[in-house]
Structure 1
Amino acid sequence: MTPEELNAARGPIVPDVAADGLRVLFCGINPSLTTAVTGHHFAHPGNRFWPVLHRSGFTPRRLRPAEQDELLGLGLGITNVVARATARADELDAEEFRQGGADLTAKVERLAPQWLAVVGITAYRTAFGEPRARIGPQDRTIGGARVWALPNPSGLNAHWTVRTMAEEYARLREAVLDRSPADRLPARR
């Protein structure tokens, strides 16, 4: 992508990959410029979402960003706390996160997933006013959805490796399986 294409990507809204009644709705911080240009979530080459999703057992194979719609058949979806595309999440201010939290709450109440998984603890803390929240399951529910905060898969989040992130995502996967044993996710390969 050219610098001109990336610069032009500031602002467009990237459609969610979502449907009613998902097992897990993954929620990114906000779209990258690469995501805005391609229309595919977690599309930046340095983002580790897709390999982590597979290594944790959520997908039977490593999907490419262009295959994001295959998530729906697995009971998974993707949205964002803030819809505005930026080069870096630190370009967003606290008010955008708070408004994003309110918008996300309305979306989750409407879509009724079993779990909302926010990928980015700082985004979760700011959007929901919980400054002491830690990675893992949260006490909060939204509608009937349980909430889990996951590590941000951005390549900039260097203190989490693909292995350690996959372990944390796998903890969520196990919780999903425990909640709906008759409606299992695909077996990990």
Structure 2
Amino acid sequence: MTRKSSFPPVAADDARLLVLGSLPGDRSLAEARYYAHPQNQFWALMSGVVARDLVALAYDERLVALRDAGVALWDVIGSAHRVGSTDAAILDAQDNAVAELVARLPDLRAIAFNGATALKLGLRQGLGTLGPQIVALPSSSPLHTIGRAAKQPAWDALAPFLAGPR
């Protein structure tokens, strides 16, 4: 079984919101891009949060748009064994140093978890005790079968964390 590793964080020093996934899926790993699977709804959901159409942008431009909006992006798992892309198949997970990243982000207002696995593992890492508000989100994964319209209100609730002068 192959050990799979997450990507480096995407984070500017003035980030106000950190969105954490669990571990990139096989399509994302193959393309070396966060949320690369065309059916993953992350970029569409975040478009509502940052009030910009991220789906229409090239990948590098998406990352710049997130940083410009005050959004940081990473995963709670640094590496794990997993067959396929489902969180249920994750074995022998090694944590990313998320608490260290949070400590370097003095303007951070909230940590949002993209899905139940990310939330469970993040809380196990003690991320709920660091100060920023914790937000549980419905997973953007196509495996989380409720539609985007049902997920969007929970994701839109992230926008106030980005509001105000920077």
TM class by shorter-chain length?
Answer: 0.7 to 0.9
Cα RMSD for the two superposed structures: 2.8
Aligned 8 A contact 1:120 1:149 in 2: yes
Query: Which of the two has greater helix per residue?
Result: 1
Q: How many residues align?
A: 158
Q: Which residue of 1 aligns with 2:52?
A: 60
Report the Cα offset of residue 110 of structure 1. 2.5
Summarize the alignment of residues 41-52 of structure 1 with structure 2, pairs less than 5 Å apart: 41-52=34-45
TM-score by length of 1: 0.71
From 17, 33, 37, the counterpart of 2:10: 17
Aligned 8 A contact 2:22 2:117 in 1: no
Q: Which residue of 2 aligns with 1:182?
A: 165
Q: Which residue of 1 aligns with 2:86?
A: 88
Question: What amino acid is the match of 2:139?
Answer: N
Q: Which residue of 2 aligns with 1:106?
A: 100
Larger Cα-atom Rg: 1
From 67, 76, 80, the counterpart of 1:72: 67
User: How many Å separate the matches in 2 of 1:38 and 1:79?
Assistant: 16
Query: The residue matched to 2:113 in structure 1 has which SS?
Result: strand
Identify the range of structure 1 (36-45 vs 61-70) with the bigger mean alpha-carbon deviation.
61-70
Question: What amino acid is the match of 2:69?
Answer: L
Query: The residue matched to 1:11 in structure 2 has which SS?
Result: strand
| Structure 2: runs of 5 or more not aligned | none
- Aligned-pair identity (%): 24
Query: The residue matched to 2:4 in structure 1 has which SS?
Result: coil
Report the Cα offset of residue 91 of structure 1. 2.1
TM superposition outliers: structure 1 runs of 4+ over 4 Å: none
Query: Which of the two has greater strand per residue?
Result: 2
Question: What amino acid is the match of 1:119?
Answer: N
Structure number with higher relative contact order (C-alpha < 8 Å, ≥ 6 residues apart): 2
TM-score by length of 2: 0.79
From 158, 162, 178, the counterpart of 2:145: 158
Are 2:133 and 1:146 aligned?
yes
Aligned 8 A contact 1:18 1:78 in 2: yes
Report the Cα offset of residue 39 of structure 1. 1.6
